[in-house]
């Protein structure tokens, strides 16, 4: 099974959390300013007059992949869909890794950690329910890392001529500053998303379903994230050497 992190949903969630942190809590109508994902079918327009729509528009590779390998072996048991790791012998236990053992159902992967120190002894949610007695289990893997530059369009809407432009100015200013970097770094969970910059805001009038013109300012936010693909990888625990008589085996 192949997994990737952060997902596009994770990246959009990180940006949404940032927007909610820097924008005013309420709009001119006294309602909370909503931040929603665009291009959603059968969903009416937001009812509040001040809101933000986020839409990913471009993903670009920044560099060649960086590959790495992680061996992992531990003592663990499984009850239902919970893996209990009692002791880690080699490496760290990572979500996304595939479990390897004669006792474990083929294709079983670790979904998330439930308890315990990160990557260590504790409990983990796995993808398949089963029962496995305490034994040695491997969960080695290969990671492929691709650095990405993600461009996301931000549409700031308001019913008056000031709110949308003010929101756009706040966001474009913060995304080009160390303050914005720190805001992303302080998020929990932290998906490793980092703001790079934002372009200049442009005014793009919007016609709603009542044929009324609303104020809309558009900013393109540019973020960086390292997309990590996790693949299952088996490792050898020991090497058995056999001696071969070259003269006897390869005699001419």
Domain definitions of the chain by residue range: 7-64+149-230, 72-139
pLDDT score for 248: 83
Q: What is the pTM of this model?
A: 0.78
Q: Give whole-number Cα distances, 31 to 25, 27, 37, 246, in Å.
A: 8, 6, 19, 85
pLDDT score for 45: 77
Strand (E) or helix (H) holding 198: strand 194-198
Q: Which CATH code is given to the segment(s) 7-64+149-230?
A: 3.30.70.1700
pLDDT score for 146: 96
- Kindly give the residue spans of alpha helices, DSSP state H, lying in the chain: 8-22, 163-175, 178-185, 246-249
pLDDT score for 12: 97
pLDDT score for 41: 83
Q: Which residues of the chain carry a pLDDT beneath 70?
A: 1, 252
**CA dihedral of residues 7, 9, 12, 16 (deg, nearest 10):** -130
pLDDT score for 33: 94
Contacts of 227 (CB under 8 A, 6+ apart): 4, 5, 6, 145, 146, 147, 148
pLDDT score for 1: 63
pLDDT score for 148: 97
How does 130-157 read in b/e, with b if 16+ C-beta sit within 10 Å?
eebeeeebbbbbebeebebebbbebbbb
């Amino acid at each position: 099974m192949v997994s990737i992190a952060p997902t596009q949903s994770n990246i959009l969630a990180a940006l949404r959390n940032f927007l909610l942190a820097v924008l005013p809590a309420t709009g001119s109508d006294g309602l909370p300013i909503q931040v929603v994902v665009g291009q959603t079918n059968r969903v009416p327009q937001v009812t509040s007059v001040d809101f933000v729509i986020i839409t990913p528009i471009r993903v670009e590779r920044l560099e060649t992949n960086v590959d790495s390998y992680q061996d992992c072996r531990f003592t663990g048991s499984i009850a239902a869909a919970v893996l209990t790791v009692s002791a880690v012998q080699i490496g760290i236990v990572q979500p996304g890794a595939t479990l390897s053992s004669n006792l474990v159902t083929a294709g079983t992967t670790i979904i998330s950690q439930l308890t315990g120190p990160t990557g260590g002894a504790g409990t983990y949610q796995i993808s398949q329910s089963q029962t496995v007695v305490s034994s040695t289990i491997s969960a080695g893997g290969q990671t492929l890392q691709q650095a990405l530059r993600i461009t996301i369009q931000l549409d700031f809407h308001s019913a008056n001529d000031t709110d949308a432009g003010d929101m756009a100015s706040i966001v474009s200013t913060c995304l080009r500053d160390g303050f914005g970097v720190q805001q992303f770094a302080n998020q929990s969970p932290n998906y490793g998303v980092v703001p790079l910059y934002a372009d200049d805001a442009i005014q793009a009038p919007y016609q709603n379903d009542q044929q009324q013109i609303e104020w809309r300012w558009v900013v393109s936010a540019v973020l960086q994230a390292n997309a990590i693909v996790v693949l299952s990888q088996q490792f050898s625990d020991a090497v058995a050497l056999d001696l071969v008589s070259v003269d006897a085996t390869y005699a001419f």
